[in-house]
Amino acid sequence: MEKLAIANYTQQLKTEAARLGFDFCGIAKAEFLNDDAQRLEKWLQQGMHGKMHYMENWFDKRVDPRKLVPDAKSVISLMLNYYPEEIQQTDIPKISKYAFGNDYHFIIKEKLKMLLAFIKENIGEVNGRAFVDSAPVLERTWAQKSGLGWIGKNGMLINKNAGSYFFLAELILDIELSYDSAMTKDYCGTCTKCIDACPTEAILPDKVIEGSKCISYLTIELKEEIPLEFKNKMDGWAFGCDVCQDVCPWNRFLKPHSEPQFNSTQEKLNLSSREWIEMTTEVFNKLFKDSPIKRTKLTGMKRNISFLFPSK
């Protein structure tokens, strides 16, 4: 494919991504991630993943997109803002902002399908796969390699102009495109606000996250009882945690998202601990039918809330 045609196709693709609602789109060459392979192997060996045994699976696919899509040449990284306008009341079980609205997996997957269909229609026969946080893809690394931001001390992908409240998604394709320059500068500097603020001290130096201490892990991933060592350390978070993002200076000037399906209702946002404990499965299934919260199930939410508010 000629360079002019590649540049033209790349621009068409990015224009369509913006039309579909994605806030940022960057492209990197599909290749083996040598540095990440070493970091991931060390992280797993140290048991930082806790009971997330699935992190041990598909190691080769996590560090090489060509194992996911044969003859892959390009990794397209996309970002979609989810920062909400709504806020929760105080003194109630806290829910991570990404779970305020409907499940992002389905919303973004639909957008990716449309983008892939556009590519096939306008570029030709393309083999590719779409990924939304549900497959062995190191999405933050690819976003950084695509120039969309840097990985902060809290392990999040941070965009200099828009912060970190973004969902990340990827298209891996077997065609060559124009590649963006990787983000090589780290704008965290000497700031340690996220490290200092983490209620369970899960954020370690050198951008290492001790997953088994992270509140998101404890409230969502962990299926057993929450260890007593975290009693009175979880700051009221019942589903996920936003502390390390809320304190990040790069999130000071955020603008709310424009995706209607990410909106919530006061009925869902402001349930008291008593209302959660007394909730029936029927009510839960009705209220959270399309929500990420259904992942932990009602039994998981009641476990979390009983641990946080034992007297209520």
Catalytic residue, chosen from 23, 35, 133, 206, is: 133
Determine the residue type at 122: N
Backbone angles phi, psi at 174, to 5 degrees: -100, 25
Contact 188/142 with Cβ under 8 angstroms?
A: no
The residue ranges of DSSP E strands in 190-242, in sequence order, are: 203-204, 208-209, 237-239
65, 245, 246, 78: which is closest to 155 by C-alpha? 245
234, 302, 199: which is closest to 293 by C-alpha? 302
Helix-, strand-, coil-residue percentages of the chain, each rounded to 5: 40, 15, 45
* Active-site annotation holds for 133: yes
Q: How far apart are CA 62 and CA 137, in angstroms?
A: 5
Long-range residue pairs from 12-18, CB within 8 A, at least 24 positions apart, any chain: 12/122, 12/123, 13/76, 13/115, 13/118, 13/119, 13/123, 13/177, 16/115, 16/118, 17/76, 17/78, 17/115
Counting beta carbons within 10 angstroms of the beta carbon of residue 97, is it exposed (0 to 12), middle (13 to 18) or buried (19 or more)? buried
Q: What is the dihedral of CA 305, 200, 228, 301, to 10 degrees?
A: 20
Residue 154 CA to its chain's centroid (Å): 13
Contact 242/79 with Cβ under 8 angstroms?
A: no
Q: How far apart are CA 144 and CA 149, in angstroms?
A: 5
The residues carrying an active-site annotation are 133
